[in-house]
Amino acid sequence: MRIRNTARAVSVALTLGLGVSACGGGDVDEPRFVGAEKVCDSVFSGDDTAAVVERAIGDTSFFATGAGALDRVATAVKDVYADGQDVYRGQKFCSVKGEKSGSGEMDISFGLYKPEDALSDRHSATQRPYELGKRALAGTKNSSLYFECASPRLDGSDKEAARILGGLSYSDRELEGTRAEQEANLTALYAASLALAKKLECEDNAGLPTKVVLQPK
């Protein structure tokens, strides 16, 4: 059994929590508002992901989020995994907030999960399961993506992969609960998860495709 080190995990959480830029944050010479392809370390710049985020939020201009969030969350996952944590609720990776009043907001975070969590078939009535990663749930308000990472950057992961859980929560804008809305949220979460898998140098991108094709289960 891997050994827990609570004190260090708390330290990592505090460091990550203090380090993540809030909406509107960043250096004083950075623009206050940017396009979807520029927020969250540009994880939404590939393919049509930026357009998906624009439709989901209901805006084309977003509060700038600063830089470095991807490095910080990758370091946090690496350190907590090295400490032997089986479960780590994680910290916020990034918030995507539209400029105009009435637009929505996405909050994305990453943590660790237990093996049985990816095997469960339980989910909210407002969520749909998808064939993506080890488990994927698309919801209007909450979406999640489970994936496993074996990487030379994660010592011991060749024997026991790091089980990473990405979570997305949506707020501030009322949605109708359509499948398109749910899939937009999962697509955004997938893009952030793929970027983290690449940053961690996960083998085979942690089993995540380079281009997402959402297939309901």
Dump pLDDT digits (tens) for 6-28: 434 433 443 344 343 444 444 45
Q: Is residue 12 part of a domain?
A: yes
Across all residues in the chain, what is the average pLDDT? 87
Question: Is 217 part of any domain?
Answer: no
Model confidence, pTM:
0.85
29-37, Cβ contacts within 8 angstroms, sequence gap of 24 or more: 30/64, 30/66, 31/64, 32/63, 32/64, 33/61, 33/62, 33/63, 33/64, 33/99, 34/61, 34/62, 34/64, 35/60, 35/61, 35/62, 36/60, 36/62, 36/96
pLDDT exceeds 90 at position 127: yes
User: What is the structure's pLDDT at 28?
Assistant: 56
Sorting pLDDT into bands at 50, 70 and 90, what band is 176?
confident
Residue 85: band (very low, low, confident or very high) from pLDDT cuts 50, 70, 90: confident
Q: How many domains does the chain have?
A: 1
Do the domain assignments include residue 21? yes
Whether residue 4 is predicted with pLDDT greater than 70 in this model: the reply is no
**What range defines the domain where residue 186 resides?**
6-207
Residue 214 located in a structural domain: no
In a domain, 215, yes or no: no
